[in-house]
Amino acid sequence: MVCPVCFRHCNIVESGLGFCGVRTCKDGVVVADNYGKITSIALDPIEKKPLAFFYPGSMILSVGSYGCSLRCPFCQNHEISWSDEAMMFRDSARTYRPEEIADLAERYKSAGNIGVAYTYNEPLAGYEFVRDTARLVHERGMKNVLVTSGNAELSVLSEIAPYMDAMNIDLKGFTDRYYTQVLGGNRRAVMDFIEAAVKVSHVELTTLIVPGENDSEEEMRALSAWVAGLEIGGETGDDKTEIYSITSGRDIPLHISRFFPRFHMTDRDATDVSLIYRLAEVARENLDHVLTGNC
């Protein structure tokens, strides 16, 4: 059967797995093999997602599973994304029901928790659990946050959009070469996802600067200009003391982060801090809220 989740549209045989290591075929239907299988769970500051303009100072219960639709060679969460080690969680990860995650989120309200963030691996590879849990979290009057590469079809976004209050989406670079040859992804698919997401949710973007790959001023200038031109679907928040109101593409926050060598990419040094600051200045030619990370 053909999987509809990302641009690859893997043809998955019965009991087989798609490229992400998550989608499988059961009785002729493509389903998520990792439904409810949680590999990581923590109460994090909202700024760690990173979200700088969505309920700043609050905490959020962060949950992740295993599997990923990309192949970033520098992945900081490779133990649960696409390494051989990650695939071992198919049998060892603890399974939670959506109700259990929603109950746990509610229990931590007294510690400043505002809801649940779906993060760490690529949550949209198993979007059904995200959708089902997020609906219950909303019923409890709490918030949902998605941290994603945006490497998913718009049909997946439509499934979760009614329950998502904020997203941090990776816009990892702005060339097809980088997305295809280095990350194993599809830049156009991510751009389409972002274009649709900013119409339905508070969105902040993150770009990790990898030396020799996506670190030119020209690329950052093109990336930030494209973001500035995005059409927003309306104000994303009605309480401006709690959530920043995005009314134009220029308002979209962009986090520019520093690369550190890890996993399969140890052949270069960490990104020079001065370069991060310079690229942030370039991005500010087009955007009003550019933040630097890992510096």
Domain 23-293 falls in which CATH fold?
A: TIM Barrel (3.20.20)
CB atoms within 10 A of CB 9: 13
Q: What is the pLDDT of residue 295?
A: 85
Q: What is the pLDDT of residue 87?
A: 85
What backbone phi and psi angles, to 5 degrees, belong to 31? -135, 175
**Half-sphere exposure (CA, 13 Å, Cβ side) for 8?**
19
Which residues, including other chains, have CB under 8 Å from residue 240's CB and lie 6 or more apart? Answer: none
Q: What is the pLDDT of residue 236?
A: 46
Q: Which of 139, 165, 179, 151 is nearest to 238 (CA)?
A: 165
What backbone phi and psi angles, to 5 degrees, belong to 119? -160, -170
DSSP the chain: -B--SSTT--B--BT-B-TTS-EEEETTEEEETTTTEESEEEEEEGGGTT-SSBSTT-EEEEEE-S--S---TT-TTTTTTTSHHHHTHHHHSEE--HHHHHHHHHHGGGGTEEEEEE-SS-GGGGHHHHHHHHHHHHHTT-EEEEEE---S-HHHHHHHGGG-SEEEEE---S-HHIIIIIIS--HHHHHHHHHHHTTTSEEEEEEEE-TTTS--HHHHHHHHHHHHTPPP-S-S-S-TTTBPPP-SGGGS-EEEEE---BTTB-SSPPPPHHHHHHHHHHHTTT-S-EEEE--
Contact 147, 63 (CB under 8 A): no
Cα–Cα distance measured from residue 190 to residue 267, given in angstroms and rounded to the nearest whole number:
27
Q: What is the pLDDT of residue 234?
A: 57
Mean pLDDT by 10 residues, the chain (295 residues): 97 96 96 96 97 96 96 94 86 95 98 97 98 98 98 97 97 98 97 97 97 98 98 59 76 97 96 98 98 92
Cα–Cα distance measured from residue 167 to residue 183, given in angstroms and rounded to the nearest whole number:
21
Looking up tokens 């259990």, which residue turns up? 100
What backbone phi and psi angles, to 5 degrees, belong to 30? -80, 125
For residues 43, 81, 118, 174, the Cα torsion angle rounded to the nearest 10 degrees is 120
Q: What is the pLDDT of residue 237?
A: 44
pTM: 0.95
Contact 216, 275 (CB under 8 A): no
Q: What is the pLDDT of residue 90?
A: 84
Cα–Cα distance measured from residue 191 to residue 266, given in angstroms and rounded to the nearest whole number:
28
Query: Residue 96 corresponds to which tokens in the numbers above?
Result: 């939670």
